[in-house]
Structure 1
C-alpha cells in the first residue's frame, strides 16, 4: 500500500513537471535561507551559554541620580570588590576584570596580546577549563600567568610551555612571568576574550589606586549564593553604599537631586552576565533586548511561511484539475483517509526533496554566509537535542499544514462534485487571495525595513562629525617602546615626508580601530558648589589642528606657552556646564595646590560615536598619562603613498609590533557593523521573499489564465481589446498587492520608529520610503504576471475556443 502511494505520487508529480519544479525550487531556497538565518540567530542567542554557573553570574553596575537624571556607572574602583564581598552577605564568588593590550615577549618574539587581569575566583565562576598545568588555582603566585592553547602555540609552537618564563611590558620595564597553566581555547560563543590571564595585582594602576574609591577603571563580576535574588542583593548593599559613597550622596543632596523610587541617590545593581551582549542602559537601568537574533529568526520563519503559502496555493489551484481523478477514486471505493494520505504523501515527497536540497545548498553557501554576515555559526549550532527536536517538530507541522490542508480540502469533496470537476471556487479563491495578501505584506514590510536601514546608515556615514575623518590615520602605539618615545621617533621618521602634514597623539581613539580597543575616562569634581562630570582626553600638541577641530573661543595648546601643562581646552557642552558667560574665565582647582585654566573652546564633535549625544569633554596635556594612539594628517591627494610610508616608518621603530593603522572613516564604519549586518540580512530576506512571492504569483497566474481561456476567447470575439484584457487579468492581482501595501505600511512605520529610537542622530521618517516599497512590490508583481496575461490576451480566440 505504501509503495503504491509513492508510485502514484511520483507519477502525478512527473505529470505536472512545471509546478513540481516551481514548488521544489521555492521550498529549497526557503529551507536554505531559513537554515542559514537560523544558524546566525541561534549562534547569537548561544552567547555565553556554555558557562556552568551561567544562571547565577552577574555584572555589577550602579545607578546614580544626578541633576540630569539617572546615569549608569559600570566601572568600579580597586578596593570595591574585596570590600563588597567582606561586608555584604550573599556573595559566593567575586572577581575584578581589567582588559588591556600588552606587549608580550619570549626570546626573539614580541607580540601585542589581549591580557585580562583577574582575581582567583574567576576560574571557579567562569568555565574556561585548564587542560594542562596548575588546575585548582592557576594564579596562586603573583608572578604566574595562564595562556590559551592558541596563544601558547603562537609563542612557543609545539614546545611544552609549563614553567617557561615570558616578559610582559610594564609601565617602566618588562616584567617576568612564569606560565602555570594552559587553558582550553575560548569558545566562539564567548563575549569575553583574552590571550593571557594575570593576577589583578599586577596591573599598572593597582598600587596607586589600592585605597582610592574615586578612580574607577575595571569591571566586577560576582556569583550569588543559592537562593539570593538580585533584589535582595540591592537591598543589602544600601548600608555599604551609604558608607563608601557618602560624598556622592552628599553632593546629590546639595545639588537638589531627586531620589529614585526606593529613596536612593546611589544604588548598586546587577544584570545577568549571559545578557552582556544584549544589554543597553536607558535611564541608568540595564535593559536587555534580544531583538536582533529574534528578528533574524522571524525573517527565517517568514520566508518559510511564504514558500509554504506558495505550496498551498499551487496545490489547491492545481487540485481543481484533479477533481475527476478524485471522484473516480471515490467511486471505486477509496476512503477520505486514503485520499488524504495519497495527496499528503505527494506533499511530503516534495518537502523531503526540498529539505535535502536546501540543506545541501546551505552547506555549500555556509562559508560565504559566515563572511558576509560576520557570524561564527555552523551546522553544529543546530545539533543540540533541543534545536533538533524543534527543527523536526517544525518540519512536521509545516508539511501537515502546507501539504495536509490541500489534501484535506480535496479529499472531503463529494463524489458527484468531484466527478463533475466542480469545486467551491469562492472558498478556495478567498483562501488564495488572503495568502497572497499576507505574502506581499511580508515582502513590503521587509523592503521597507531595508530602505529605512540603508537610509539611516547612509545618513550616519555622511553626517558631519565635527572632525576630519577622511584624511587622518590613527595608529595604535602597541609596541614595546613607551608612547612618548614611539611618538617622537615616528615624528622624526616622517617629518620630511611631503605626504604627512602633521602628527599628534592621544590616549583614546575615534571610532573603532583595527585593534578593537578603546575606553572612557570620566571624572567628577566640584565647581562653585555643584558637581560637574566630564570626559577626559590627554592629547599632544597639534591634536586639535590635526583633526581639524573648530575653535570657537580662545586658542589651542601651544609649545610656546610653558603654562599649558596646567591648561584645559573644553568643548561647547562642557562650557555650558561651567555656566560662565566667558568660559575662558574658568579656573578649576582639583586640589589645594594645582589650578587649571580654560584656554580654549572647541565646537562640539562626536567623539563617542553616532548613537550618543555629545557629552562634556576636557583636553589636557598630562605628561603622567601615556598615549595609546598616534594620529597622522595626510595629504588627501597622496593617501595611499602616505599610508605606506607611515607603515614603513612604524616597522622601522617597532619591528616586532604589528602595524594596525586605519583611516578614521574606516573606524567610524566599524561602529556601524551591527547595523550593516542587520541591513544585509533584511535586504537578503527581502530579495528572497519577493522571489518566492513571484514564484507563487507566477504559478497562480498560469492556472488562473488557463482556467479563463474560454472567457478570454469570447471577450475577444465580442470586441475586447488586448489592453482591456490585460487590465482585466492584472486588476485582480494588483488589488491584492495594493491591499498588502495598506496593511504593511503602518506596521513598517511603527517598527522603523521603534528601531530609530536607539539613535540620537536619525533620519526623519516620511511616507515616501513606504510608497517606494509598495511601488517596488507592485512593479515586481506586474512583471511576474504580465508575460502570461499578455500571452493569453494575444492568443487567437478561435484557437482558444477550440482548445476549450
Structure 2
C-alpha cells in the first residue's frame, strides 16, 4: 500500500511539472534563507554563552539621579573594585577591565596590539582556554602577560615562547613583560576580546589614580557566590555606596536632583554577562534589547510563511483539477484516511526534496551571506544540537500543518460533490484569499521598512555634522614617537605640500576608524556652587581649524603653548548657564582655574542616535593625544593621502598606517543599520518573488478553470481589456486589502524604531504609498501576461476545451 502511495504521488507530481517546480523552488529558497538567517540570529544570541560560570557573572553599572534625570555609566574609579570585594558580601571573584591599544615591541617588530588590563581573577572568571604555560594563575605577577596564539605568532613568529620577554610602550617608556601563558584566540561571540592580557596595576594611569574616586575610566565585572542573587547584591551594596559616594550624593541633593522610588540618589545595578552585548545606555538607564536577532528570526519565519502560503494556495487551487479522481476513488471504496495519506504523502515528498535542496543552497551561499551581512557564522553551527532540534521541529510542524491542511480538505469532499466537480462548499476560496492577503501584507510591510531604513541611513550619511568629514583623514598615532612630537614632525615633513592644508590631533577619533577603537572621556567639576559634567577632549592647537568647526564666540587656541585656557561648545555654554561664557573660569584641576577662550558651534562628536552633549577642548602634553587629523585639498585627495602615508612610514617605519577619511569613519558607525537594511531589503525582494510565484501559479489555474467563460464572453463581444480586468480585479482587491491592513502596522512599528534616533527622518505618507504602488505594479506584471494571453485567445479553441 505504501509503495502504491509513493507511485501515485510521483506520477501526480511529474504530471504537473510547472506547479511542482514552482513549489519546490519556492520552498527550497525559503528553507535556505531561513537556515542562513537562523544561523545569524543564533550567532548573535550566543554572545558570552560559552562561559561555564556565565550565569553568575555581571557587569556593574552605576546609576545617578541627576537634576536632569537618571544617568547611567559603566566606568568606575580604580579603588572601586578592591573595596567592593572587601566590604560587600557575596563577591566570589571580581576584575577590572580596561581595553587600551598599546605598542608591543619585540626585536625589530613594533605592533599596535589590543591590550586589556585586568585583575588576577580574570582567567578564573572567564573561560578563555589556556593552551600552554601557567594554567591556574597566569597573572600572579605584575610583569606577567598572556598572549593569544595569533598575537604570539605576529610578535614572535611562534607560540613556543613561555618565559620570553618583550616590551610594551607605557607613558612613552618601554617596559618589559614576561609571557606566562598562551591562550586560544578569542571567539568572535565575545565582547571581551584581547590580544594581550596584562595586570591592571601595570597600566600607565594606575599609580596616579589608584586612590582617586573622581577619575572613572574602566569597567568592572563581578562573579557572585552561589545563592547570591543580583537583586540581593544590589540591595547589600547600598551602604557601601552611601559611604564611598557620600559627597556625590550631597552634591546631587544640593543641585536639585530627585530621588528614585526607593529614596536613593546613587545605585549599583548588575547587568548579566549574556545581556552585555545587547545593552545600551539610553535615557539615563541601561536598556537591554535583542531586537536585531529577533528581527532576523522574524524575517526568516515570514519568508517561510509566504512559501507555505504559496504551497497551500496552489494545492487548494490544484484540487479542482482532481475532483473527478477523488470522486472515482471514493466510488471504488477509498476511505478518507487513505485519501488523506495519499495527498499528504505528495506534500511530504515535496517538503523532503525542498529541505534537502535548501540545506545544500545554504552551504553553497554561506560565504556570500557572511560577506553581505557582516557576520561570522560558520557551517559548524548547523551541527549544533540546539540548532538541529529547532530546524527539525519547524520542518515537522510545516509538514503536518501546511501539507496536512490541503490533504484534509480534499479527503473530506463528498463523492457526489467530487464527481460533479464542485468545490465551493469547502470555503477554499475564502481561505485562499485570506492567505494571499497575509502574504502581500507581509511583503508590503517589509517593503515599507526597506524604504524607511534606507531613507534614515541616507539622512544620517548626508547630515551636516558640524565638521568637515570629506576632506579630513584620521589615523591612530600608534608608533614609538611621542604623539605630540609626531604631529609636529608630520607638519615639518609635509610643509610646502599644496595638497596638505593643516595637521592636528586629539585623544579620540571621530566615527569608527580602521583600528576599530573608540573611547570617550567625561569629567565633573564644581562651577558656581553646582556640579557640572562635560565630555573632555585633549587636542592639538590646530584641531578646530583642521576639522573646520565654526567659532561662534571668542578665539581658538593660538599655539601649542596656549594650554592655560579651554574652548567649549554651545551645549557646554548652556550647561554653565553664564550670561557671557567667555567670562567663565573652570576648575578642571583642584585649585587651578582655566578661562574659557572661545565657544565653537555644536557638532556631532557622538553617533546620531544621541543628542549633542557638552564638550570641552584642552591642550596637555602630559595627557597626550592618540589620533592624528590631516585636512587635505579637495582637488587632489588621493595624492594627499599617499603623501601623508609616505611621510608616516618615513617617520614611523615599523608602525602600520591606518588612515581613513572621516566620512568613511562615520559610515562605519551605521554598520548595524546597514546590515539591518540589507537584511530587510533581501527579505522584501524574496517575499515579493515568492508571492509572485504563488500569484502566477494561481493565475494559471484560475485561467484554466475559466477558459469556457472567457470564450463565451468573447463570442458575445467582450473586449480584451474588459476580460483582462475581470480576471485581474479579484487579485488586485486582495493586494489593496493587504495594503490597508499592513500600512497602520508598519507605521506603528517604524515610528517606534525611529524613536531610537535623536536625528531622524519624517515618517512621510509617501513611504507607504510607494510600498503599496510597488506591490500593485509587481502583482500586475505577474498576472498581466497570462491574463492578457487568455483574453486574446481564439474563442473557438476556448469553447472546444473540455
TM-score interval w.r.t. the shorter chain? over 0.9
Specify whether residues 658 and 425 from structure 1 end up closer, same or farther in structure 2 by C-alpha distance, changes over 3 A only: farther
Deviations, residues 348-404 of structure 1 (Å, cap 9, x unaligned): 111111111111111111101101100001232232222211211110110111111
Residue of structure 1 equivalent to 2:640: 642
**How many Å apart are 1:582 and its aligned residue?**
1.3
In structure 1, what is the Cα distance between the partners aligned to 2:157 and 2:424?
Answer: 75
In structure 2, what is the Cα distance between the partners aligned to 1:181 and 1:543?
Answer: 42
Residue of structure 1 equivalent to 2:255: 255
**How many Å apart are 1:552 and its aligned residue?**
0.5
Residue of structure 2 equivalent to 1:803: 801
Residue of structure 1 equivalent to 2:366: 366
Residue of structure 1 equivalent to 2:450: 450
What is the correspondence of 1:54-65 to structure 2 with a 5 Å cutoff? 54-65=54-65
1:785 matches 2:778: no
In structure 2, what is the Cα distance between the partners aligned to 1:158 and 1:60?
Answer: 37
**How many Å apart are 1:172 and its aligned residue?**
3.0
**How many Å apart are 1:425 and its aligned residue?**
5.6
Residue of structure 2 equivalent to 1:757: 755
Please say if residues 409 and 426 of structure 2, whose CA atoms lie closer than 8 Å, have aligned partners that are also in contact: no
Residue of structure 2 equivalent to 1:587: 585
* SS of corresponding position for 1:52: coil
Residue of structure 1 equivalent to 2:407: 407
Residue of structure 2 equivalent to 1:172: 172
Residue of structure 1 equivalent to 2:265: 265
Report the TM-score when normalising by structure 2. Answer: 0.99
Deviations, residues 255-311 of structure 1 (Å, cap 9, x unaligned): 121111111111111111111111122343212110110011010011011001101
What is the correspondence of 1:274-673 to structure 2 with a 5 Å cutoff? 274-424=274-424, 427-559=427-559, 564-590=562-588, 593-673=591-671
* SS of corresponding position for 2:365: helix
Residue of structure 2 equivalent to 1:18: 18
In structure 1, what is the Cα distance between the partners aligned to 2:510 and 2:458?
Answer: 19
In structure 2, what is the Cα distance between the partners aligned to 1:455 and 1:659?
Answer: 34
Deviations, residues 528-560 of structure 1 (Å, cap 9, x unaligned): 111111111111111111111010001100029
In structure 2, what is the Cα distance between the partners aligned to 1:159 and 1:632?
Answer: 39
**How many Å apart are 1:426 and its aligned residue?**
6.1
1:739 matches 2:737: yes
Gaps of 5+ in 2: none
Please say if residues 66 and 257 of structure 2, whose CA atoms lie closer than 8 Å, have aligned partners that are also in contact: yes
In structure 2, what is the Cα distance between the partners aligned to 1:800 and 1:530?
Answer: 90
**How many Å apart are 1:699 and its aligned residue?**
0.3
**Length, aligned pairs only:** 802
**How many Å apart are 1:208 and its aligned residue?**
0.3
In structure 2, what is the Cα distance between the partners aligned to 1:187 and 1:425?
Answer: 59
**How many Å apart are 1:592 and its aligned residue?**
6.0
**How many Å apart are 1:159 and its aligned residue?**
5.3
In structure 2, what is the Cα distance between the partners aligned to 1:690 and 1:26?
Answer: 11
In structure 2, what is the Cα distance between the partners aligned to 1:480 and 1:538?
Answer: 20
Deviations, residues 425-449 of structure 1 (Å, cap 9, x unaligned): 6601001100100000000000000
Residue of structure 2 equivalent to 1:75: 75
Residue of structure 1 equivalent to 2:162: 162
* SS of corresponding position for 1:270: strand
**How many Å apart are 1:324 and its aligned residue?**
1.3
In structure 1, what is the Cα distance between the partners aligned to 2:259 and 2:307?
Answer: 55
What is the correspondence of 1:173-252 to structure 2 with a 5 Å cutoff? 173-252=173-252
1:708 matches 2:682: no
**How many Å apart are 1:97 and its aligned residue?**
0.4
What is the correspondence of 1:14-163 to structure 2 with a 5 Å cutoff? 14-158=14-158, 160-163=160-163
**How many Å apart are 1:591 and its aligned residue?**
5.1
**How many Å apart are 1:241 and its aligned residue?**
1.0
* SS of corresponding position for 2:376: coil
Report the TM-score when normalising by structure 1. Answer: 0.98
* SS of corresponding position for 1:615: coil
In structure 2, what is the Cα distance between the partners aligned to 1:428 and 1:477?
Answer: 70
What is the root-mean-square deviation in Å for CA atoms of aligned residues? 1.2
In structure 2, what is the Cα distance between the partners aligned to 1:469 and 1:667?
Answer: 9
Choose 106-115 or 85-94, whichever is displaced more. Answer: 106-115
**How many Å apart are 1:589 and its aligned residue?**
3.0
In structure 1, what is the Cα distance between the partners aligned to 2:590 and 2:282?
Answer: 37
In structure 2, what is the Cα distance between the partners aligned to 1:603 and 1:31?
Answer: 53
In structure 1, what is the Cα distance between the partners aligned to 2:216 and 2:144?
Answer: 25
Please say if residues 172 and 480 of structure 2, whose CA atoms lie closer than 8 Å, have aligned partners that are also in contact: no
Please say if residues 695 and 779 of structure 2, whose CA atoms lie closer than 8 Å, have aligned partners that are also in contact: yes
* SS of corresponding position for 2:192: coil
Choose 319-328 or 457-466, whichever is displaced more. Answer: 319-328
Choose 749-758 or 588-597, whichever is displaced more. Answer: 588-597
Gaps of 5+ in 1: none
In structure 1, what is the Cα distance between the partners aligned to 2:262 and 2:196?
Answer: 42
* SS of corresponding position for 2:438: helix
Specify whether residues 589 and 393 from structure 1 end up closer, same or farther in structure 2 by C-alpha distance, changes over 3 A only: closer
In structure 2, what is the Cα distance between the partners aligned to 1:618 and 1:373?
Answer: 38
